[in-house]
C-alpha cells in the first residue's frame, strides 16, 4: 500500500470513497450483529463500536501488509478493517468452525494471524504487552514493520498500559499505541475514572511522541496515523495516538445506559457520525449512496447466510488445540 | 563428563541454546551486567550483547507479555523472574494471554519463564514460595521442576525447543549445593517423563525438585528395614502418570511429597489419580507429606517447621510400612 497518498498528500475522492464504503460496511455489519443478537441467534456477549468506525478504518488503511495489530473487546471494526472477510467474522459470532477463531474465541477473542491480527483481548489493556514484544521482534530483525495496539481510555488506567509504554519507549521499538477515547470505561464516564482530561500527558510521562486526532474524521485519522507510522518505521520510537471518538451505543448490546443522559447518544449520532460526515464532505448523491449501501448490506446479509449455514464444531473439539 | 553445579548446568544449557539459535534471547531484571540475582546469566551480555540479554525494568507483566508477542512474531524468549514469587505480577499475561493463545488463536507461544523457587535460607514469605501447583491447574502451560544438574540442562533445552509456554522452576536451594556430572554436548530431556531416582520394592515416594534429596536421605536411613523407590516427576505438566502407577503397582504403598503447601497442592492430584487408576494395587492409603497451609516464614526455626524435613518423611514411610 505504498502509494503517494501516504506521503501526506490530499486523498483522492476515490480513495475516500473506499474509506466510506469500509466504514459503512462495519456500520451495517454491527447493526446486523445487534439485530441478530436481540433475535437470540448469537451466543455470549457482544460489544459494538458504532460511532468509532473512522478510527478502525483510518488506522488500518494506513498500515502496510506486514504490520500487526492487537484489538480489544470491541473488535469487529478493527478485524474487518485489517482484512478479515465478513463471512469469517460473522461465522465466528455464530460459533461456527468457519469462523476466524474456529468457534474457540467469539466476539471478544477474535484473531486472524494471517492478516496480522494478533487477537482481540478481552481483559482491558491485555493486548499492549504483546504488541511491545512484536515490535521488539521487528526491531531486532531490522524489519520495517510496526505493531499497533488499539485500546480505550479506560485501559490507560491499568498497569499493562504503563509498563508497556515504558518498555516501548525505553527500547524505541516500532509500536503505535492507538487510544480510542470514547469517554466511557464501560459505564464509567471519563470524569469518574481519569484525573486528567488530556490523555497525551500519560505518553508525555514516558517521553513518548504523542499525537491527537479527531477520531470522527477518517481522513485525519489516516493522515495522522501515516505520520505516526513513519516515525515508528524510521526508528524514532513508538507513538501514542489519541483519537477522540464517540460510542453511540451502550457498552454491550442490551445496555440500558443508565449512566448517561438519554439525549446524549442521539445528539452524538446527529453531530458526530463519521460515516455521515464523510458522506456529506464527498457530496455523495442519493443514487450513489443507495448503491453503496445496497452493496455492503448484501455483503452483510451474505455473511449471515454463510454463518447460519456454517458447521457446528464437534463437541469433542473442545478437547483439542490446548497445546501446540 | 565434568562435574557441575545445578546452577552451572542451567547456565550452560541456556548459553548453548543462545549460541545455537539466534532467535533465543533472555530478558529479566538485573540479568545483564549484574549477571542475574543468582548469576545464572553471568557473562552473557558480554558474549551476546545487550539486545539478546535484555536488562528489563521492574515490569513482570510487560516482560512476560512482551515475550508472548515476540514469540508469536518468531523469536524464542526466555524470561527470568528474579524470584518465582514475582510471577504473580504477570499472572494475567501468562494465564489469560499466553496459556490461551493456542486455543483461541491457533498460534504457538514458545516462551520459557525461569522461576527461581523454594525455601531453605530464610527468604521469607515473598522469596521462598513453590507456586508450581497454581500453574499446573492452568491448561495451556507446561511445567518442569528439575532436581539434578543433568536434568536441569536437558529440561531447559527441551523447554526452549517446545512450542508452548513452559514454566521452568529451578530450586534455589539446589543451585550450588547439588553437583553432578553433566554432559558438555547439547542434549534434551523430554518434558513429561519421570525418572526413577532410586529403585525399591516396598514403598514409592513421588516427588520433585529439592524434595528428591529429602526423600533420598530418608530412604538411606531406612535402607536396612525398608526398600524405598523414589520417582522424581521432573515435569508436573504434563506429568508421567504411567511411571507413577507402574511404581505403585510394584510397591503397593505410596507417599507423595512436596515443598508446596498441602491443600490443593499437586500431590492431591497424584493421590487422586492413584486412587482412580490403581486402587486395587494398594495395601495402604496413599500418604501426603507437604508444607502446612501457611505462608513461608522467615525465622529459621519457623521455616524448618514449614519445609518438609527428613524426619517428616521417615514418619510417613514408617506409618505406611506398618499399616
Q: What is the mean pLDDT of chain A?
A: 94
For residues B259 and B101, give the distance between their C-alpha atoms in angstroms, rounded to a whole number: 31
Residue B94 C-alpha, separation from nearest chain A C-alpha, in angstroms: 11
Picking from B21, B73, B111, B143 by the largest number of A CB atoms within 10 A of its own CB, the best residue to mutate is B73
Q: Under an 8 A CB cutoff, do A109 and B142 touch?
A: no
Q: Which of A68, A104, A160 sits opposite B103 (nearest CB)?
A: A104
H helix or E strand, kind and range, residue B211? helix B211-221
Q: Under an 8 A CB cutoff, do B72 and A111 touch?
A: no
Concatenating the DSSP letter of every residue in A127-152 gives THHHHHHHHHHHHHHT----EEEEEE
Sort out which chain A residues have CB atoms less than 8 A from B102's CB and list them: 321-324
Mean pLDDT, residues A29-35:
97
Which parts of chain B are beta strand (E)?
2-5, 24-28, 53-55, 76-80, 112-117, 142-144, 166-171, 179-182, 195-198, 203-207, 228-232, 235-237, 254-261, 287-291
Concatenating the DSSP letter of every residue in A292-312 gives HHHHHHHHHHHHHHHHHTSPP
Question: What are the structural domain ranges in chain A?
Answer: 2-307
Among chain B, residues having any CB pair with chain A shorter than 8 Å are: 25, 51, 56-57, 59, 61-62, 64-75, 77, 92-93, 96-97, 101-110, 139-140, 142, 163-164
Q: Under an 8 A CB cutoff, do B61 and A68 touch?
A: no
> Directed axis angle between helix B310-322 and helix B211-221, to 10°?
60
Q: Under an 8 A CB cutoff, do A134 and B69 touch?
A: yes
With a threshold of 0.90, does the pTM exceed it? Answer: yes
Buried b (16+ CB within 10 A) or exposed e, A5-44: bbeeeebeeeebbebbbbbbbbbbbbebbbebbeeeebee
Q: What is the pLDDT of residues B279-301, one digit of tens each?
A: 999 999 999 999 999 999 999 99
Question: Residue A127 pLDDT more than 60?
Answer: yes
User: C-alpha cell of B50?
Assistant: 545487550
Low-confidence ranges of chain B (pLDDT < 70): none
The nearest alpha carbon in chain A to B106 belongs to A321
Residue A274 C-alpha, separation from nearest chain B C-alpha, in angstroms: 31
Mean pLDDT, residues A300-308:
98
Q: Under an 8 A CB cutoff, do B107 and A136 touch?
A: no
Q: Which of B72, B104, B142 sits opposite A105 (nearest CB)?
A: B104
CATH number of B2-182: 3.40.50.970
Residue B210 C-alpha, separation from nearest chain A C-alpha, in angstroms: 28
The nearest alpha carbon in chain B to A132 belongs to B66
For residues A222 and A19, the answer to whether their CB atoms sit within 8 Å is yes
The percent of residues in chain A predicted with pLDDT above 90, rounded, is: 87
For residues A189 and B149, give the distance between their C-alpha atoms in angstroms, rounded to a whole number: 56
Sort out which chain A residues have CB atoms less than 8 A from B96's CB and list them: 123, 126
Closest to B174 in 3D by CA, of B257, B261, B116: B116
For residues B195 and B217, give the distance between their C-alpha atoms in angstroms, rounded to a whole number: 17
Sort out which chain B residues have CB atoms less than 8 A from A123's CB and list them: 92, 96-97
Phi, psi at B184, each rounded to 5°: -75, -35
For residues B227 and B222, give the distance between their C-alpha atoms in angstroms, rounded to a whole number: 8
Residue B133's pLDDT is 95
Q: Under an 8 A CB cutoff, do A109 and B104 touch?
A: yes
For residues A108 and A46, give the distance between their C-alpha atoms in angstroms, rounded to a whole number: 8
Sign of CA pseudo-dihedral A268, A269, A271, A277:
positive
**Band (A9; pLDDT cuts 50, 70, 90):** low
For residues B243 and B223, give the distance between their C-alpha atoms in angstroms, rounded to a whole number: 22
Residue B234 C-alpha, separation from nearest chain A C-alpha, in angstroms: 19
Q: Cell 491443600 identifies what position?
A: B263
**Band (A254; pLDDT cuts 50, 70, 90):** confident
State the burial class of residue A281 (Cβ atoms within 10 Å of its Cβ: 0-12, 13-18, 19+). middle
**Band (A7; pLDDT cuts 50, 70, 90):** very low
Do B2-182 and B195-322 have matching folds?
Answer: yes
Q: Which of A113, A138, A160 sits opposite B106 (nearest CB)?
A: A113
B254-261 and B203-207 as β-strands: parallel, antiparallel, unpaired?
A: parallel
Residue A1's pLDDT is 33
Q: Under an 8 A CB cutoff, do A119 and B101 touch?
A: yes
Helices and strands (H and E) in chain A: how many: 12, 8
Sort out which chain B residues have CB atoms less than 8 A from A323's CB and list them: 102, 140, 142, 163-164
Sort out which chain B residues have CB atoms less than 8 A from A164's CB and list them: 62, 65-66
**Band (A262; pLDDT cuts 50, 70, 90):** confident
Question: Residue A5 pLDDT more than 70?
Answer: no
Residue A217's pLDDT is 98
The set of residues, in sequence order, having a beta carbon less than 8 Å from that of B220 and lying 6+ positions away, is: none
Question: What are the structural domain ranges in chain B?
Answer: 2-182, 195-322
Q: What is the pLDDT of residues A161-215, one digit of tens each?
A: 999 999 999 999 999 999 999 999 999 999 899 999 999 999 999 999 999 999 9
The nearest alpha carbon in chain A to B142 belongs to A323
The architecture that CATH gives domain B195-322 is 3-Layer(aba) Sandwich (3.40)
Q: Give domain A2-307's CATH superfamily.
A: Thiamin diphosphate (ThDP)-binding fold, Pyr/PP domains (3.40.50.970)
ipTM score of complex: 0.93
**Band (A319; pLDDT cuts 50, 70, 90):** very high
Sort out which chain B residues have CB atoms less than 8 A from A121's CB and list them: 97
Residue B121 C-alpha, separation from nearest chain A C-alpha, in angstroms: 32
For residues B152 and B146, give the distance between their C-alpha atoms in angstroms, rounded to a whole number: 5
Sign of CA pseudo-dihedral B190, B194, B196, B197:
positive
For residues A55 and A178, the answer to whether their CB atoms sit within 8 Å is yes
Amino acid at each position: 500500500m505504498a502509494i503517494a497518498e501516504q506521503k501526506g498528500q490530499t486523498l483522492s475522492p476515490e480513495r475516500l470513497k473506499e474509506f466510506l464504503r469500509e466504514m459503512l460496511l462495519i456500520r451495517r455489519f454491527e447493526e446486523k450483529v445487534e439485530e441478530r443478537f436481540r433475535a437470540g441467534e448469537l451466543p455470549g456477549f457482544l460489544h459494538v463500536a458504532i460511532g468509532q468506525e473512522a478510527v478502525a478504518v483510518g488506522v488500518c488503511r494506513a498500515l502496510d501488509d506486514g504490520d500487526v495489530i492487537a484489538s480489544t473487546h470491541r473488535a469487529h471494526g478493527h478485524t474487518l478493517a485489517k482484512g478479515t472477510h465478513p463471512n469469517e467474522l460473522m461465522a465466528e459470532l455464530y460459533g461456527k468452525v468457519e469462523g476466524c477463531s474456529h468457534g474457540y474465541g467469539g466476539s471478544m477473542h477474535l484473531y486472524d494471524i494471517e492478516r496480522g491480527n494478533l487477537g482481540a483481548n478481552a481483559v482491558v489493556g491485555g493486548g499492549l504487552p504483546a504488541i511491545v514484544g512484536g515490535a521488539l521482534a521487528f526491531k531486532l530483525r531490522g524489519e520495517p514493520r510496526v505493531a499497533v495496539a488499539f485500546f480505550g481510555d479506560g485501559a490507560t488506567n491499568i498497569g499493562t498500559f504503563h509498563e508497556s509504554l515504558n518498555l516501548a519507549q525505553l527500547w524505541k521499538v516500532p509500536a503505535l499505541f492507538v487510544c480510542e477515547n470514547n469517554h466511557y470505561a464501560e459505564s464509567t464516564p471519563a470524569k469518574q475514572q481519569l484525573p486528567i482530561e488530556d490523555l497525551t500527558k500519560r505518553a508525555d510521562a514516558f517521553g513518548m511522541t504523542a499525537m491527537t486526532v479527531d477520531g470522527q474524521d477518517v481522513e485525519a485519522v489516516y493522515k495522522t496515523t501515516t505520520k505516526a507510522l513513519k516515525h515508528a518505521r524510521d526508528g524514532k520510537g513508538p507513538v501514542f495516538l489519541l483519537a477522540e471518538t464517540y460510542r453511540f451505543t451502550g457498552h454491550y448490546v442490551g445496555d440500558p445506559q443508565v449512566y448517561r443522559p438519554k439525549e446524549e447518544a442521539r445528539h452524538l449520532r446527529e453531530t458526530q457520525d463519521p460515516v455521515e460526515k464523510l458522506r456529506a464532505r464527498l457530496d455523495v448523491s442519493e443514487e450513489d449512496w443507495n448503491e453503496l449501501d445496497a452493496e455492503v448490506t448484501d455483503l452483510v446479509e451474505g455473511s449471515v447466510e454463510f454463518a447460519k449455514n456454517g458447521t457446528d464444531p464437534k463437541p469433542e473439539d473442545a478437547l483439542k488445540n490446548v497445546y501446540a | 563428563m565434568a562435574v557441575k553445579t545445578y546452577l552451572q548446568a542451567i547456565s550452560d544449557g541456556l548459553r548453548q541454546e543462545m549460541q545455537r539459535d539466534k532467535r533465543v534471547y533472555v530478558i529479566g531484571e538485573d540479568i545483564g551486567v549484574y549477571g542475574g540475582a543468582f548469576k545464572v546469566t553471568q557473562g552473557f551480555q558480554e558474549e551476546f550483547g545487550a539486545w539478546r540479554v535484555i536488562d528489563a525494568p521492574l515490569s513482570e507483566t510487560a516482560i512476560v507479555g512482551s515475550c508472548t508477542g515476540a514469540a508469536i512474531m518468531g523469536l524464542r524468549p526466555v524470561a527470568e523472574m528474579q524470584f518465582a514469587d514475582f510471577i504473580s505480577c504477570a499472572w494475567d499475561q501468562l494465564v489469560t494471554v499466553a496459556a490461551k493463545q493456542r486455543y483461541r488463536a491457533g498460534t504457538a507461544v514458545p516462551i520459557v519463564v525461569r522461576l527461581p523457587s523454594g525455601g531453605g535460607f530464610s527468604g521469607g514469605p515473598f522469596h521462598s514460595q513453590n507456586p508450581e501447583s497454581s500453574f499446573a491447574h492452568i491448561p495451556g502451560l507446561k511445567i518442569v521442576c528439575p532436581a539434578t544438574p543433568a536434568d536441569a540442562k536437558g529440561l531447559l533445552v527441551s523447554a526452549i525447543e517446545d512450542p508452548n509456554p513452559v514454566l521452568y522452576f529451578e530450586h534455589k536451594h539446589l543451585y550450588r549445593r547439588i553437583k553432578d556430572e553433566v554432559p558438555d554436548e547439547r542434549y534434551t530431556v523430554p518434558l513429561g517423563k519421570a525418572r526413577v531416582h532410586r529403585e525399591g520394592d516396598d514403598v514409592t515416594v513421588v516427588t520433585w525438585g529439592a524434595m528428591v534429596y529429602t526423600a533420598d536421605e530418608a530412604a538411606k536411613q531406612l535402607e536396612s528395614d525398608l526398600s524405598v523407590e523414589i520417582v522424581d516427576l521432573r515435569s508436573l505438566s504434563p506429568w508421567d502418570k504411567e511411571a507413577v502407577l507402574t511404581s505403585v503397582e510394584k510397591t503397593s504403598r505410596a507417599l507423595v511429597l512436596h515443598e508446596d503447601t498441602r491443600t490443593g497442592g499437586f500431590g492431591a492430584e497424584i493421590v487422586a489419580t492413584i486412587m482412580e487408576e490403581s486402587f486395587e494395587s494398594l495395601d495402604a492409603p496413599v500418604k501426603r507429606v507437604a508444607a502446612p497451609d501457611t505462608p513461608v516464614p522467615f525465622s529459621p526455626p519457623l521455616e524448618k517447621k514449614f519445609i518438609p524435613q527428613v524426619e517428616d518423611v521417615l514418619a510417613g514411610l514408617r506409618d505406611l510400612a506398618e499399616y
